[in-house]
């Protein structure tokens, strides 16, 4: 059985290995990202595209995919009452009633 000092030495060696491995991981990640960025730049140039064509604002990371809790501008408005709807979720009753009476959803577009 190992004594306390030997175990501390093993722990220190493992921590050093873990730190070295972390540095290697960071370097590999940096190299991989650089390669991907160069590929993307090359493809953009090849096809005559810009970042704006992708719908991404320069300098900002892409959306995380989750839209929960974010405000969305309304897309439809009832001119008679001023009620609005973003176009997400269930249709409000005023839209359902208008469509049932023969109007089109496009009639309410803002």
Q: Does an H or E element contain 25, and which?
A: helix 4-47
Supply the pTM of this predicted model. Answer: 0.42
Write out the chain's pLDDT in tens, 110 residues.
579 999 999 999 999 999 999 999 999 999 999 999 999 999 999 999 988 888 877 665 666 666 667 888 999 998 888 899 999 989 999 999 999 999 998 888 98
Which CATH number does the domain 63-110 belong to among 3.40.920.10, 3.30.1300.10, 4.10.430.10, 3.40.50.10800? 4.10.430.10
- Give the whole-angstrom CA distance, residue 84 versus residue 91: 11
Question: Which residues have CB under 8 Å from 75's CB, separation 6+?
Answer: 85, 86, 87, 109, 110
- Give the whole-angstrom CA distance, residue 58 versus residue 67: 20
């Amino acid at each position: 059985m190992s004594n306390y000092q030997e175990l501390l030495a093993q722990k220190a060696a493992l921590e050093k290995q873990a730190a070295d491995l972390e540095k290697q991981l960071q370097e590999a990640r940096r190299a991989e990202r650089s390669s991907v960025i160069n590929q993307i730049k090359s493809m953009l140039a090849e096809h005559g595209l810009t970042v704006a064509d992708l719908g991404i604002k320069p300098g900002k990371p892409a959306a995380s995919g989750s839209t929960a809790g974010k405000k969305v501008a309304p897309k439809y408005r009832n001119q008679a009452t001023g009620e609005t709807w973003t176009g997400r979720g269930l249709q409000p009753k005023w839209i359902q009633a208008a469509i049932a009476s023969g109007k089109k959803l496009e009639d309410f577009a803002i």
